[in-house]
Structures are given as C-alpha cells and as structure tokens.
C-alpha cells in the first residue's frame, strides 16, 4: 500500500465522522461550560475548607483539559488548519494562559 493511499484512507476515516464528532463536541462544550459556571459559583458563593477548595481546583483543571482537547480535536478535523489556528488565536492564548495559571 502506498503512502498516498494510506493517507487517503486515514483522511476518509477522519472526515467521514466529522459531523458526528462536531455534534458531540458541541454538547460536550455546553456541558463543560455549565459545569465550570456551577463550580465557580459554588467556589465563590460558599465558605470552603481547604480540601473542598482543592477539589474545586481539581475540577477546574479537568475542565481546562477538556477545553484544550476540544480545541485540538477541532483543529484536527478542520480542513484548513493554519487558518483555523489564526482565527482561534484568542482561544489558544486563553488555553495557554489557563494552563500556566493552574
């Protein structure tokens, strides 16, 4: 099997599931955002002990990882990756900022 044929098979496999993956990512984004908002309201609205605060930060770290994975999955499924990166610079900036922050 030639390299081009293998590459074509991989691209076909990836892009044939693109719409389904985008729908899953949309639902995941909404759930992640909702969980993040609830977590932040809970952490700011109540007097928390040290172990609860630690648990909240662990949840926030998991949510950040989910957002970063979402970005990279969308980049992989994008037809024009360079243009996608340029259009989503602020998302990249915030992902990197949050990684450094936590």
Q: Two tokens at 31?
A: 């759930």
Confidence of residue 98 (pLDDT cuts 50, 70, 90): low
Task: Note the pLDDT tens digit of each residue in 52-90.
Answer: 888 988 888 888 888 888 888 887 777 777 777 777 777
How many CA atoms within 13 Å lie on the side-chain side of 48? 16
Task: Note the pLDDT tens digit of each residue in 33-42.
Answer: 899 888 888 8
Residues 6+ positions from 42 with CB-CB distance below 8 Å: 56
pTM of the model: 0.69
Q: Indicate the average pLDDT of the chain.
A: 80
pLDDT exceeds 60 at position 31? yes
């Amino acid at each position: 099997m030639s390299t081009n044929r293998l590459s074509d098979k991989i691209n076909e496999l990836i892009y044939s599931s693109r719409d389904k993956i985008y729908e899953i990512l949309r639902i995941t984004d909404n759930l992640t955002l909702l969980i993040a908002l609830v977590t932040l309201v809970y952490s700011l609205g109540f007097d928390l002990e040290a172990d609860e605060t630690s648990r909240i930060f662990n949840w926030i770290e998991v949510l950040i990882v989910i957002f970063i994975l979402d970005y990279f999955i969308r980049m992989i499924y994008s037809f024009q990756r360079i243009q996608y990166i340029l259009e989503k610079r602020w998302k990249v900036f915030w992902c990197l900022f949050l990684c450094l922050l936590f």
